[in-house]
Chains A and B, each alone.
Chain A
Amino acid sequence: SQQGEEDPQALSIQEGENATMNCSYKTSINNLQWYRQNSGRGLVHLILIRSNEREKHSGRLRVTLDTSKKSSSLLITASRAADTASYFCATDDRAGTASKLTFGTGTRLQVTL
């Protein structure tokens, strides 16, 4: 079963606008990660936020985490056409030395010129 549910399923914006995606999950976590997937490619890690953190920034990315609501959001500011991709949240149920991720269903972002 999917741990994370993402909202919206699809998002279309114009270049320069901000894009916000939300992720909800069901069980307690060690950390939550966001990945990007360009069409036909593998996933690329974007950012990780630990369960004791509330907000994290990386370049144009801002991630928030609310463990009481079991939810996270990813904000991409000043979007570019190159940001067009699917974005997935993944919760980390760390099992020993392996990072055992459970992925959400993803948000498809389309950035138009």
Chain B
Amino acid sequence: NAGVTQTPKFQVLKTGQSMTLQCAQDMNHNSMYWYRQDPGMGLRLIYYSASEGTTDKGEVPNGYNVSRLNKREFSLRLESAAPSQTSVYFCATSRGHEQYFGPGTRLTVT
């Protein structure tokens, strides 16, 4: 079992470009999450999906959109990237309280 996978692993964008970060899980979990982690800080929740067909804003949703494509997949889209969105992005899943994290996508916006 792969657990939680994220693509791509690394990405460099120019200001104003768009991109979609992909997350997939084979754990049959209902809930999925997107976080960002900036240097010296903990993770901050961007969006989450409690179950297939629902999405909700987290602490820092501005500049992002999400799609819960099906139970397995939850994507994060940056429509017009800004340097402030340079960060490491983590996807996670949960069935109960414990969350399981993917390996992360390191995004640089120049």
- A contact set with B: CB distance below 8 Å: 1-2, 4, 30-31, 33, 40-45, 48, 88, 90, 92, 94-106
Instruction: Flag if A43 contacts B101 (CB, 8 Å).
Output: yes
Partner of A88, one of B42, B92, B104: B42
Indicate the member of B58, B94, B96 with the most A CB atoms within 10 Å: B94
Residues of B within 8 Å of A100, CB to CB, are 45, 48, 58
Chain B interface category by residue count: 20 to 34
A-B contact count (CB 8 A): 74
A sample of 19 cross-chain residue pairs with beta-carbon separation below 8 angstroms, ordered by A number, consists of A4-B42, A40-B104, A42-B103, A88-B43, A95-B56, A97-B31, A97-B50, A97-B51, A98-B56, A98-B94, A99-B98, A101-B33, A101-B43, A101-B99, A102-B45, A103-B35, A104-B42, A105-B41, A106-B42
A12–B103 Cα distance when bound, in Å, is 26
By beta carbon, the residue of chain B nearest A93 is: B45
Instruction: Flag if A42 contacts B40 (CB, 8 Å).
Output: no
- B contact set with A: CB distance below 8 Å: 4, 30-31, 33, 35, 40-45, 48-51, 56, 58-59, 90, 92, 94, 96-104
A105–B69 Cα distance when bound, in Å, is 31
